[in-house]
């Protein structure tokens, strides 16, 4: 189908007295113009959202080989607001199971 359409345009152009070289150069310039337009579109396209930054970090080999704490640090370094917090450290008396007296305050 595409070849038929191109043949039609070329035959019309030749019958009107336009040379085949002119048609070929025009098509080439059209292709170059479309390539320039495509490159401009890709360069000026919307940047990726910040929400996708952690996915980029997760795809790195360094992330896969690191421990849990450094993974959290790597993810929090690219986020606008860190969401993975380290768990709070429990007081020693709670870990050992001893009860605090009312006179003991923090």
Per-residue pLDDT of 52-99, as tens digits, reads: 888 888 999 999 999 999 998 888 888 877 666 656 666 665 556 556
Residue 96 is predicted with a pLDDT of 61
Q: Which residue has the tokens 């189908």?
A: 1
Give the separation between CA 90 and CA 94, rounded to whole angstroms: 6
- pTM beyond cutoff 0.85: no
| Most confidently modeled range among 8-17, 28-37, 69-78 | 28-37
**91, 105 contact by CB (below 8 A):** no
**63, 70 contact by CB (below 8 A):** no
User: Where along the chain do its domains lie?
Assistant: 2-44, 47-81
Give the burial string for 41-66 (b: 16+ CB within 10 Å, else e).
eeeeeeeeeeeeebeebeeeeeeeee
Residue 50 is predicted with a pLDDT of 80
């Amino acid at each position: 189908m595409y070849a038929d359409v191109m043949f039609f345009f070329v035959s019309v152009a030749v019958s009107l007295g336009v040379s085949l070289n002119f048609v070929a150069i025009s098509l080439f310039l059209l292709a170059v113009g479309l390539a320039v337009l495509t490159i401009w579109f890709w360069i000026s396209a919307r940047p990726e959202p910040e929400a996708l930054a952690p996915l980029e970090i997760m795809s790195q080999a360094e992330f896969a080989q690191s421990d849990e704490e450094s993974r959290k640090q790597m993810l929090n370094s690219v986020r606008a607001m860190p969401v993975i917090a380290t768990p709070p450290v429990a007081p020693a008396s709670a870990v050992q199971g001893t009860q605090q007296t009312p006179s003991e305050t923090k």
